[in-house]
Amino acid sequence: MTPIDDHPLRYALANELHARPFPSSAAPCTVVFLAIKQPVNAAGRDREQDRAHLLSLLDRHGAPHPQPGATHYSGQIGRHWLKWEQHTEFVTYTAFSQGVSDRAFNPADFEIFPPDWLADSPGQRVTSILMRVAPCPANDQINASLSEWFAAESLAAARVLDDAAVAASDFRIDPAGHMRFAVFTSEGTGRQRTGQIIQRLCEIETYKAMSMLGFARVKKLAPELGELDSRLTELMTEMTDGDAGPEELLPQLLSTSTRLETMAARCTFRFGATGAYEAIVTRRVEALREDRFEGRQTFSDFMVRRYEPAIRTVKSTETRLRALSDRAIRAGELLRTRVDVERSAQNQALLESMDRRSALALRLQHTVEGLSVVAISYYAVSLAGYLLYPLTAAGISKGTLTALITLPVVAAVWWSIRRIRKRLDTRQT
């Protein structure tokens, strides 16, 4: 039996769903996380630079290299377990170490990434995390630790994954430049469940930071967007009530529309990415399945109070920019209609002027024809008189002869000119 042909991507696509499993870790452990993004055109960056930076770190520890073209890697480097992932705009490094430092959130824990290696990074730090994972003590001890480690006004703490652990963070950058997360795992929480919590928290922070890039962008756009909004309103008012003609308004409207379209083109990717990242943050928070801990705000509460207003600002700016572009398009159409109406009026006036000129020309033609009849008749009568002079010998006077031939000659000339004109009109039609 001949086997069925497989699609060439069948196995690659199926394996992609299992390529990035949750890390496996048990408390107590320390997690160090780093996300790096190139400042310009991160989505179109040279991804080989990301790979070269990873290989530089692996070579320091004599660790094996990933497969060529790989977008993720996991392996042992020294006493740490490293997980590396390449994303659309950024790369992440997550290092797991057994045990926790005597000093909570010790900056020395981050030394797994050497300073000179960090300096050679092909991008900039988006976020970095120090995460302390420990067995869950009594609630009063957890409260004491949270009060010592975090800022009370922004602290979020919740029981997650059906009371598998208590997770906490204040989403503030500490003096060493890192975000702090604390995880207290309950008794019986397995390594996979612990790894799932760790990854979810790292993803929440990373995608939150990435989506906030959109908020930073719209803050820079706000002054220019307000200026364009006012300018467009002024142009619309001038079109309605002003005396300026289309030749004055069109260049100004074209300039405003061009600036709006340029702004929209530059922001389209960032707006789209912000929406995608915000959706991921929301899903990851929901996946924690939070329960309130000791009356403190949950991660969901924090996002509603601190994060969602920023995202709504991004979305409202995107909507406003789209609305301004539509207004500029409609203004251009109105101005084009106004130009067409004025042009139609000018064409009508031109046609009326041409009609008047044609009538004058026709009248002039008739006048010339009448004068031509008179002139030709005069010369024809003179010629006919010379031809008929011999009749004067029969007793007819010259005056009488001229009077007799004048009327027939004029009639003949008029008939001849009229016949010639009819022939010309027939040929033209």
Q: What is the chain's mean pLDDT, rounded?
A: 87
**Can you read off the two tokens belonging to residue 356?**
């008047």
**Are 143 and 221 in the same domain?**
no
For the four alpha carbons of 148, 203, 50 and 66, in that order, the dihedral sign comes to positive
In-domain check, residue 373? no
Terminal alpha carbon distance of the chain: 84
In-domain check, residue 30? yes
**Are 166 and 270 in the same domain?**
no
Contacts 24+ apart (CB under 8 A), 43-51: 43/88, 43/89, 43/269, 45/122, 45/123, 46/122, 47/86, 49/122, 50/86, 50/91, 50/122, 51/86
Asked which of 172-186, 210-224, 336-350 is least confident by mean pLDDT, the reply is: 336-350
**Are 188 and 219 in the same domain?**
no
**Are 113 and 151 in the same domain?**
yes
**Are 218 and 180 in the same domain?**
no
**Are 188 and 235 in the same domain?**
no
Supply the pLDDT for residue 20. 63
pTM of the predicted structure, to 2 decimals: 0.78
221 and 263 Cβ atoms separated by less than 8 Å:
yes
In-domain check, residue 299? yes
In-domain check, residue 3? no
Give the model's confidence band at 280: pLDDT under 50 very low, under 70 low, under 90 confident, else very high: very high
- Region at 19 (left for phi over 0; alpha for psi -120 to 50; beta for the rest): alpha
**Are 162 and 261 in the same domain?**
no
User: What's the average model confidence in pLDDT over 72-85?
Assistant: 92
Helix (H) or strand (E) run with residue 103 in it: none
The domain total for the chain is 2
Cα gap 355→353, rounded to integer Å:
5
Supply the pLDDT for residue 350. 82
**Are 65 and 180 in the same domain?**
yes
Contacts of 32 (CB under 8 A, 6+ apart): 94, 95, 97, 109, 110, 112, 113, 128, 129, 130, 131
Q: Which of 316, 337, 358 is the last residue of a domain?
A: 337
**Are 218 and 188 in the same domain?**
no
Tens of pLDDT along 385-426? Answer: 666 667 666 666 666 767 667 777 777 777 777 777 677 667
35 and 127 Cβ atoms separated by less than 8 Å:
yes
Q: Which domain holds residue 147?
A: 19-198
Tens of pLDDT along 296-309? Answer: 999 999 999 999 99
Structure-token match 């490094």, residue found:
93
**Are 77 and 53 in the same domain?**
yes
Higher pLDDT, 3 or 309: 309
C-alpha dist (Å) from residue 167 to 157, 308, 420: 6, 21, 109
In-domain check, residue 301? yes
